[in-house]
């Protein structure tokens, strides 16, 4: 079987299925690696032209690569400069998203083929993602194989916390980037080699906005909100709530000290996404965690 990205480390545990081929028999070619690297240009020196800064679709040693783009090639010369810039920026974003979606689809096929339940956990910084994962892993680790991918701009704190529970974890540092992308997850998965029939938690970078645009190939997106953030967050940052299958409201142990109305928060989320499941819990005290565990068990046995 041909397997992308594994060369120097010898035979990997798994291979990815080729898109469009028989997923049981097909080999996975280096789909994204064979794509041309796009949009390279030199950083404009002493230039008054606008520049575009964005994340590139590959990374170096777990770090997102940033790049500057000049406006040196503009086919639509009759357009105003600002319109041309906007058009080019839009094209860059569309290309980035399309390449991400392609890799995400490969990740999804891989997870499906190996019966790995991959969950993408997203919230603002500090809502309690890692605390909930630790509480969850402590309860599940003797029942199902688990692994975690931890996304943060800097530090390996969260991966260290997960490893302290006795679970394999890979830390992805995104540098200035505010989200994980499918390529990062692909590389982290390659390193982790999650077991067949396992649970893979992907803790995204703490951010309620950017990660919403990036499919990682997960089976389910889960958005977390803590009660200290206010009930209007689903209305203010709707994209993530529209995408998620489950909203976890964390830190309910703090409710006696706050003015937040839980019901208003749930209504706000259901206004954006009428089908969203809601679980209110406290990762610290364990209140409500059984409901979360049974949500997981239902998905694991699906
Ligand atoms: N009271 C209370 N505190 C909590 C709860 N869950 C997490 N915390 C606290 O909230 C803080 C942030 O928790 P983390 O688990 O690091 O949050 P996170 O979402 O992983 O943070 P980032 O990875 O930085 O985005 C810590 O001080 C936790 O102890 C909870 O249910 N109740
Ligand atoms: Mg965390």
pLDDT number for residue 76: 54
Centre of ligand 1 to C-alpha 164, Å, is 16
Average the pLDDT over 217-235 and give the result.
Answer: 98
Q: Tell me the pLDDT band of 78, cut-offs 50, 70 and 90.
A: low
pTM above 0.75, yes or no: yes
Q: CATH for 90-301, among 3.40.630.10, 3.40.50.300, 3.40.50.880, 3.40.50.20?
A: 3.40.50.300
Centre of ligand 1 to C-alpha 284, Å, is 8
Task: Give the closest residue (by CA) to ligand 1 atom 32.
Answer: 251
Task: Give the closest residue (by CA) to ligand 1 atom 8.
Answer: 128
Average the pLDDT over 81-102 and give the result.
Answer: 82
DSSP-based three-state secondary structure for 126: coil
Which pLDDT tens digit goes with each residue over 4-29?
Answer: 333 333 333 444 444 444 333 333 33
Query: What is the C-alpha separation between 21 and 11, in angstroms, rounded?
Result: 22
Atom from ligand 1 closest to the CA of residue 133: 15
Query: What is the C-alpha separation between 139 and 128, in angstroms, rounded?
Result: 17
Query: What is the C-alpha separation between 271 and 282, in angstroms, rounded?
Result: 24
Per-position b or e across 185-200, b if 16+ CB within 10 A of its CB = bbbbbbebebbeebbb
Q: Among 22, 84, 20, which Cα is nearest to 49's?
A: 84
- Residue 236 neighbours by CB under 8 Å, 6+ apart: none
- Closest ligand (CA of 178): 1
Query: What is the C-alpha separation between 179 and 2, in angstroms, rounded?
Result: 29
Atom from ligand 1 closest to the CA of residue 206: 25
């Amino acid at each position: 079987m041909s397997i992308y990205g594994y060369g120097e480390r010898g035979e990997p545990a798994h291979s990815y299925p080729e898109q469009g081929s028989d997923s049981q028999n097909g080999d996975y070619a280096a789909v994204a690696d064979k794509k041309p690297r796009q949009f390279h240009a030199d950083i404009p020196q002493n230039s008054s032209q606008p520049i575009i800064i964005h994340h590139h679709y590959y990374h170096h040693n777990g770090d997102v690569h940033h790049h500057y783009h000049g406006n040196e090639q503009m086919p639509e010369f009759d357009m105003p400069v600002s319109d041309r810039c906007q058009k080019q920026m839009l094209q860059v974003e569309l290309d980035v998203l399309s390449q991400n979606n392609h890799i995400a689809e490969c990740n999804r096929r891989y997870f499906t083929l190996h019966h790995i339940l991959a969950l993408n956990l997203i919230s603002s910084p500090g809502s309690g993602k890692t605390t909930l994962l630790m509480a969850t892993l402590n309860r599940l680790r003797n029942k199902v194989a688990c692994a975690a991918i931890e996304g943060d701009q800097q530090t390996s704190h969260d991966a260290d916390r997960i490893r302290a529970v006795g679970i394999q974890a890979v830390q992805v540092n995104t540098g200035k980037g505010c989200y994980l992308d499918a390529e990062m997850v692909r590389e982290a998965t390659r390193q982790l080699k999650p077991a067949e029939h396992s649970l893979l938690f992907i803790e995204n970078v703490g951010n309620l906005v950017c990660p919403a645009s990036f499919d990682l190939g997960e089976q389910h997106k889960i958005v977390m909100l803590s009660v200290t953030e206010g009930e209007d967050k689903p209305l203010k940052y709707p994209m993530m709530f529209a995408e998620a299958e489950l909203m976890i409201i964390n830190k309910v142990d703090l409710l006696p000290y706050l003015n937040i109305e839980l019901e208003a928060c749930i209504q706000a989320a259901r206004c954006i996404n009428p089908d969203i499941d809601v679980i209110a819990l406290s990762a610290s005290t364990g209140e409500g965690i059984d409901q979360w565990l049974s949500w997981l068990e239902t998905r694991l046995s699906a």
